């Protein structure tokens, strides 16, 4: 595979299509008609309201935003949202969100993120349920700050809410199909069909998404595919029934399947003297950043299925009862060449099988008075079967000291395989209430209260030590049990609350002051291998948050300026701690403080130009933290750059009877950040810019649109996750960000 081999073909195709497009475009009118900033309706507070009316820090990406940014999966949505970072510790199909410095450092498949993720109000707690492509959506909302009173599951960091498109309920049928081709033999296809009955009481919308590509990291190991080759498919069918104004029901069924045939790439970075594994001499000499030599046939598969039913019943003109019932299941498999080298030094396999069933009831008021409320209950049962298998130094298996015993029995590392498996059941229940009281024509008071209860039970926890038999060349798995049938359980309950004062400053501006608390339940250590001592729970996390914000529209709704400053008291963040005796436990960081701000600006300076700008600043430090016997007080929080910024410009430069040409460019800056609490140099990713562009034509009448796009224009070399393995394996484990890629796509609407 040669990078850039498709660029010439794409360029020639684009020139030909451009000529056709301009031939049908009247250039007498070259500016976009004058307009105002789009008002996105969000449901951040479980009721529909304009994003400018919601007294909290929320950003939203519309359908048009998603298209122009070419965002394909949830790991990419941080591109234009301040103070949001997404690491990819396992792969692009499992995001690790960080919002305002609140994130997690334990990647076990049983762990729920402190940033909650929802799809159509259904909570997706574990990684095997979060791997979804972004297609046929209405919008994505990102809420910053603790979610402790309204959202289905309590969370300390925030929430990411994906809202899919529903049937339009317009009589007849309509649809669209989009196809694309890009670098690395990228093939994309996406489409939808929307139908409603003549009486418009019943509608159905079916959508699909398919994508495949060759690997984007050249693997020079003989007989191995390039890393990152993938094939993915997802589909969703939504049935909507609206027999009248008082009742509606939406049934959604979706499937998703992602298969990375050659595994997710691993970069062996910062290789020390002696090479990867100390004795191989391998230090990646002669390879560039996007080349590798991986000896293992790695693999990654993620499959998930979901069914949900959302019902709204308007009991009267003043009360609406809502019900959301959901079932999810997902499977995750990763077979990883974790040493990034042609030697068998470190291999890691992860599996999980998850099912989740949830039910939520909500009662909302629409009183014609100064008081309104929303109350609800939420219950969920989540079950996961998970396991890990890690091979270490199989390349050096044997009896190096000649004592008649394999080295694995001497040091428990060389030529060894450690593995574990366990079952976890989590029952979550919550009851919540939030009321809004109009104290005057300009001032509103919001009071929210939530009670949460989580029961977690871990059973059948088993771990064992195996070894490579050098006489037969075969692995002997489970030879020496180290943890046998351990079971533990923990019950948590907590009350969280929110108080907000929302004040109308003028006809085009309002400000708010809020205090809210967040809670994340106890977490269980899924990384225990050698001793029952490692099988432990960490205490719950809590956050107390103060936030002062404002939202404003100016100059005839052609300039929008929103901002917020905040202060967090963050207690008991959960951590994996490696003890001096090499045993691992899940522990808590005592205290941390997070301070920062966000500013978001949208401007329409002239009729045919839209500008967006966002900036986030964070001052996030551990006040008290000890890990591995080291005092880390004063260190930066994980995945928390001091500065991050985003800019986007869309220019409609030729508009006529046939349609409009536009050029969209965006860039994002991510400042220096660390991926471990030790703030070690190997875990540091220095600040970087990533810039993208899109040139397209939107037809006015024919229903045919097309665009050419480019991602990572400068071909920036950067990493999206780093783990310091220097002490044990003499290198830093890292995941690369994607290189420059270009492509073209065409859409036909009918």
Q: What is the CATH number of the domain that holds 606?
A: 2.40.170.20
Determine what percent of the chain is predicted with pLDDT higher than 70: 92
The predicted structure's pLDDT at residue 8: 45
User: Which tokens hold the place of 650?
Assistant: 């869309």
The per-residue pLDDT for range 650-663, each reduced to its tens digit, is 999 888 888 889 99
Any domain includes 301: no
pTM over 0.85: yes
The predicted structure's pLDDT at residue 44: 57
> Quick one: how far is CA 617 from the chain centroid?
21
**Total tally of structural domains belonging to the chain:** 1
User: Which tokens hold the place of 609?
Assistant: 């130009």
Any domain includes 296: no
The predicted structure's pLDDT at residue 631: 92
d(CA 127, CA 146): 21
The predicted structure's pLDDT at residue 154: 82
- Per-residue burial over 279-301, b if 16 or more Cβ lie within 10 Å, else e, is ebebbbeeeebbbbbbbbebbbb
What region does 659 belong to: left with phi over 0, alpha with psi -120 to 50, or beta? Answer: left
The predicted structure's pLDDT at residue 204: 97
Residues 6+ apart with CB under 8 A from 744: 10, 13, 14, 17, 180, 181, 182, 706, 707, 708, 709
The predicted structure's pLDDT at residue 648: 94
Any domain includes 647: yes
Ranges of the chain with pLDDT below 70: 1-34, 42-49, 89-94, 131-132, 262-264, 579-582
Any domain includes 1: no
Instruction: List phi, psi (to 5°) of 420.
Output: -145, 165
> Quick one: how far is CA 4 from the chain centroid?
29
Give the three-class secondary structure for 175.
strand
- Looking at residue 225, the DSSP 8-state letter turns out to be P
The per-residue pLDDT for range 138-147, each reduced to its tens digit, is 988 889 999 8
Q: Which residue is listed with tokens 């207690």?
A: 571
CA distances from 26 to 23, 106, 353, 672, 706 (A): 8, 57, 57, 48, 17
Any domain includes 298: no
The predicted structure's pLDDT at residue 94: 67
Please choose, from the candidates 640, 593, 684, 739, the residue with its C-alpha nearest in 3D space to the C-alpha of residue 78.
640
Q: Within the chain, what is the greatest distance between any pair of CA atoms? A: 89
The predicted structure's pLDDT at residue 71: 79
Q: Which residue is listed with tokens 């220096």?
A: 672
Q: Which domain holds residue 576?
A: 7-290+307-749
Any domain includes 128: yes
Q: What is the DSSP string of 83-97?
A: TEEEEEEEETTEEEE
Any domain includes 295: no
The predicted structure's pLDDT at residue 155: 85
Any domain includes 213: yes
Please choose, from the candidates 455, 333, 339, 467, the residue with its C-alpha nearest in 3D space to the C-alpha of residue 387.
333
The predicted structure's pLDDT at residue 19: 35
- Per-residue burial over 414-448, b if 16 or more Cβ lie within 10 Å, else e, is bbbbbbbbbbbebebebebbbebeeeeeeebebeb
């Amino acid at each position: 595979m040669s990078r850039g081999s498709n660029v010439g073909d794409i360029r020639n195709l684009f020139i030909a299509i451009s000529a056709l497009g301009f031939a049908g475009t009247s250039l007498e009118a070259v500016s976009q008609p004058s307009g105002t900033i789009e008002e996105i309706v969000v449901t951040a507070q479980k009721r529909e309201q304009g994003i400018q009316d919601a007294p909290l820090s929320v950003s939203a990406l519309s359908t048009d935003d998603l298209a122009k940014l070419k965002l394909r999966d949830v790991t990419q949505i941080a591109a234009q949202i301040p103070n949001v970072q997404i690491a990819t510790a396992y792969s692009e199909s499992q995001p690790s969100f960080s919002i305002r410095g609140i994130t997690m450092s334990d990647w076990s498949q049983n762990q729920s993120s402190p940033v909650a993720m929802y799809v159509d109000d259904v909570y997706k707690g574990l990684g095997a349920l979060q791997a979804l492509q972004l297609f046929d959506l209405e919008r994505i909302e990102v809420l910053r700050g603790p979610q402790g009173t309204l959202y289905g599951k309590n969370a300390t960091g925030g929430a990411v809410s994906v809202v899919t498109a529903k049937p339009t309920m317009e009589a007849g049928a309509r649809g669209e199909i989009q196809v694309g081709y890009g670098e690395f033999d990228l093939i994309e296809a996406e489409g939808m069909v929307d139908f409603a009955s003549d009486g418009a009481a019943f509608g159905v919308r079916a959508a699909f998404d398919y994508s495949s590509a060759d690997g984007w990291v050249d693997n020079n190991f003989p007989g191995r595919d390039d890393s990152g080759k993938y094939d993915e498919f997802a589909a969703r069918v939504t049935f909507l029934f609206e027999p009248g104004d008082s009742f509606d029901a939406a049934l959604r069924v979706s499937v998703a399947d992602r298969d990375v045939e050659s595994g997710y790439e691993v970069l062996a970075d910062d290789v020390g003297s002696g090479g990867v594994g100390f004795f191989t001499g391998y230090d990646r000499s002669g390879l560039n950043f996007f080349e590798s030599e991986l000896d293992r046939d790695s693999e990654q598969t993620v499959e998930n299925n979901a069914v949900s039913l959302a019902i709204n019943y308007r009991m009267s003109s003043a009360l609406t009862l809502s019900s959301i019932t959901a079932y999810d299941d997902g499977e995750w498999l990763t077979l990883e060449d974790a040493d990034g080298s042609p030697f068998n030094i470190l291999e890691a396999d992860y599996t999980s099988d998850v099912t989740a069933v949830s039910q939520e009831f909500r009662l909302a008021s629409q009183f014609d008075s100064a008081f309104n409320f929303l109350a609800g209950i939420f219950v969920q049962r989540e079950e996961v079967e998970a396991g890990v298998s890690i091979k270490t130094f199989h390349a050096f298996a044997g009896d190096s000291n000649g004592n008649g015993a394999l080295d694995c029995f001497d040091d428990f590392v060389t030529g060894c395989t450690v593995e574990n498996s366990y079952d976890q059941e989590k029952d979550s229940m919550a009851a919540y209430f939030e009321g809004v009281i109009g104290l005057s024509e300009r001032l509103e008071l919001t009071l929210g209260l939530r009670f949460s209860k989580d029961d977690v039970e871990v059973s059948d926890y088993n771990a064992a030590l195996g070894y490579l038999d050098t006489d037969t060349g075969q692995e002997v798995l489970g030879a020496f049990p180290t943890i046998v049938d351990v079971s533990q359980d923990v019950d948590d309950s907590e009350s969280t609350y929110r108080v907000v004062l929302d004040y109308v400053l003028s006809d085009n501006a309002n400000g708010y002051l809020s205090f809210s608390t967040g809670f994340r339940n106890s977490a269980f250590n899924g990384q225990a291998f050698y001793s029952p001592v490692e099988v432990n729970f960490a205490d719950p996390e809590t956050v107390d948050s103060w936030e002062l914000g404002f939202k404003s529209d100016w100059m005839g709704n052609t300039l929008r300026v929103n901002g917020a400053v905040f202060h967090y008291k963050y207690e008991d963040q959960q951590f994996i701690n490696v003890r001096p005796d090499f045993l691992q436990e899940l522990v808590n960081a005592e205290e941390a403080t997070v301070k920062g701000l966000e500013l978001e600006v949208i401007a329409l300076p002239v009729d045919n130009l839209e500008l967006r700008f966002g900036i986030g600043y964070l001052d996030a430090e551990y006040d008290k933290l000890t890990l591995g016997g080291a005092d880390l007080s004063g260190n930066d929080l994980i995945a928390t750059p001091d500065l991050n910024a985003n800019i986007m410009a869309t220019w409609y430069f030729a508009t006529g009877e046939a349609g409009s040409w536009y050029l969209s460019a965006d860039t994002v800056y991510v400042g220096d950040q660390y991926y471990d609490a030790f703030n070690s140099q190997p875990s540091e990713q220095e600040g970087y810019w990533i810039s993208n562009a899109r040139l397209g034509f939107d037809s006015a009448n024919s229903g045919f649109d097309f665009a050419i796009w480019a991602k990572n224009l400068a071909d920036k070399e950067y990493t999206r996750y780093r783990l310091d393995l220097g002490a044990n394996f003499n290198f830093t484990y890292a995941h690369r960000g994607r290189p420059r890629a270009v492509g073209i796509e065409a859409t036909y609407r009918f």
